Structure 1
Amino acid sequence: MKTIVRYTLLMLLFINTAWGQSNTLNGVYAGIEITPSTVMGGGMGRDDISFLFRPDGSFCDELHKPDWTTRVSGHYTVTGKTINLKYNTGTRTLHYKLENDGNIDAGGYYLLHQPADSSIPPGYYQFSKINGSGGGNSGMTYVGVGSDNSLNFDGKGNFSNSRASATAVIGEGVGGGNSRKSSGKGTYKINKGTLTLNFDDGRTELHSFFCRPGDKPIMAVIDGNIFFMEDKQEQKGQSTSGNAERSSSTSMGANSSTGTTENATISDAKTMLLKANAVQGGTALDNLKVLSFTATMQGLQVSSHIDLPGKRVRLEIWKNGKLIQVEQLEGETGWIWQNGKVTPLPPIRSSEMGSVFHSGLLGLRRTEIDALTIKNVKQTSSGNVITAVKNGKQFIFMLNDQSQLVAAADNTGRVPSTSVYSNLRVIDGVLLPFQEIATSGQQRNLIRYQKFEVNPSLPEITWNKP
């Protein structure tokens, strides 16, 4: 099932977070800024923002530089609750607000204080970033370049790391890409924000490292980039997720490296989709009227209701048991509730939420298959990738050799979004994924579903505004 959880979830991680009172700026503050592209269909931009503030009034925002401990990017002053930053070069100035909890309101995102500790909480830290252009409504082929960096600390002085990068191309009749990977291990030391990695092959690397261990998800700032610690269950899900996820991750959109052929015909594709319909639930899937689920992502709780006959979708986001945001689609329009205020759902967001009826699992209902125009089908060593169009939007279904849906993509939003599914289980006759890796624009998120309900009886009050 295509996720309807969007990039704003990550932004919500930096809202409503309580910290100890602090009246001074002394240490590293960091957060994530999400910005829209100036090109239609260009996607969203992710900028990891980090500052080292010193008591002498200087600051450094280049924590990836070797001399970050002494480098001075500019100077700041604090007047009341206003923080004024002036850079050494040019006339660039910034104005932030110091919150009562000691964090910084940077306008649209928050900078959280990161202590310089003498220890690192053991665990698996991951940083993912995707840069994309084209796609969406731009009329151009989408080109995305992604990278994944991870560090695993055992708490006993040992570490392992891995780096991976990939390029993907998605367009009209186009699908391709390549990837690279590297890894290493050794021992580590941490001292006043400086992380030393001594590799077994003799290499030594120095990095800036700051971490906030008090709140989950645990967040670390490494060389100015923000990493999040995955919990043990998520690590297990990533490493032992089964054949479904492994096959999809190696073949989706990588035609040149997986032995892709195009011998199948358009009529073959319809047959493949109908077989997938039977495998995913057949009559139980076709008779689906309401689907509800609960899930977790990056420390947030998510619940959703999908009313197919009523063309309604409701998405609720919770943090620490408190409702912090509701999005609801009602036909072609909808609304957003946040902080007690209700505003209209933007048209592009309405389109994104409405795509849940036509893509992924719900796109394999017979009525949806009948309405698709097949553009092409590609056979891979792991299964088949089928590209189809409906109402001018493109939908991609990837089926493994058992005709299970293991990945899906569409271009209904600002940029193409993709989902990779694993941990498949049958609930009331419908085969559902309990883990999803969802990518949209520059954001990549691991979603762990806790519970699905097939055709639950929902009272009308379910759809009321908070």
Structure 2
Amino acid sequence: MRKIRTLLLILLAAATFTVHAQSPRLSGVYVGAELYNTPFQGMQINNIVIYFRNDGTFNNALNQPDWKTKVSGSYNITNNTVQLAFKNGDEGKKYKLAANGNLESTAGIKHTLHKVKKITTLPAASYEKRTASVSGGMGTGMPAVGAFSTDYLYFDGKGNFSTDRSSVVGVTGDAAGGTVGGKFGKNNKTGGTYKLGDGEITLTFGNGTVSNQSFFYSPPNEEDLILLNGEFYFRKEEKEKPGAANSTADNTGAHTNTTTTAGTPTTADVLNKLRDQYNGENIDKITTVKETANITGNMQVTLVTDIVNNRIRAEIKQNGKLLLIKQLDGNEGWQWLNGRKTTLSQGEKDELLLSQYQGIMGLHKKLNNYFLTGTVTASGDNYIISFYHNKNKIVYLIGKDYTLKGNAYTTNAAPSISAYKNFTQANGITYPVTTESSDGKTKITSTTTSLEINPVLTADTWKMP
């Protein structure tokens, strides 16, 4: 009897030792967006998708049919540090496993990976994926203007879906044919039915085509996206939610965060240095500005801003032909596209409004109160200043020599990333002539050809075509 007890104790001790000796594991799909700076292409964005398995392997290619079994590399966790090793020889990555389960970066510009969910039901919503965007010259953060494409997806929550893909010419991703909005088309090649499975979705199109793809979901209070075939589709706001705060230049920031990492300057120090570098006293004299730029795709964009009256107008032309206008007057906004006028959504209004709080214009004494609420962190040879305008996050990338390198901002869609180059001076103001933007795959360039400081604006400036 004693021998049996001794044997049981030995087996129990061995089992306990095995449990404690095992390395902790992750399970599920984690996603996030990483900003990084390159010598020749400026600020870039890298959308990260990693499927962790509890056997110590992972896969970062969820667009493959064998994504559930495909192995991109292995990982181990030691003292809450997750070390990734890639089979193809790519440089390994390290993340800190936070108490809330998120993965926090340990190098480069800080970013976080969040876990997305498998679901069996999907609420009705529209989603969009943008391939590229561009922000304007002068460093004003001209709102997402360029030639790019957008994929739209709409799910009605009842098993029906609609898709649309458009070549985009305009501001903030408006398609020449309009968005899919809240409609779906049955019995045609761009619509059909869907069925959710174990981390997958089966799309059955009206013409009989069946497509099986990986599928994960993040609710609005988290990343607010779906991950389809390894690609990010961000939820598209159709209209302002009841009770949403108005966006005006006089609002106080919804987020107040003046935390500064030890050893770094304060936001006030950074702002003062930037104003010294870029002639802040002259920037403060700006009441109106009109900027014209050429952008990739043989297009021309003109941005008119009236700081005093809180009015913004963006026009797009191609080969001299007017294609699109977006205009914001206080919190009222409209769009003219192919002779048709529509009302701007709150997200579109936000993107126009945020143009004033970035780049050179963001240093203006009437506009920099949001900047002063921000957080400063050091990242290599740069400082990162992050702050909020209402719910929308804005990021400045500043060299430690206090040179303005770029901006990023997020609304309810994919982040817009801009890098500034070739600074020049006019009217006592130093500003970048060239702005480059990229989603990590496609780069678009904007070159300022004309900059008018304090032009006289008349009623004709703001009229409908």
Structure 1 length-normalised TM: 0.47
Which has the larger Rg? 2
Structure 2 length-normalised TM: 0.47
Question: Greater strand share, 1 or 2?
Answer: 1
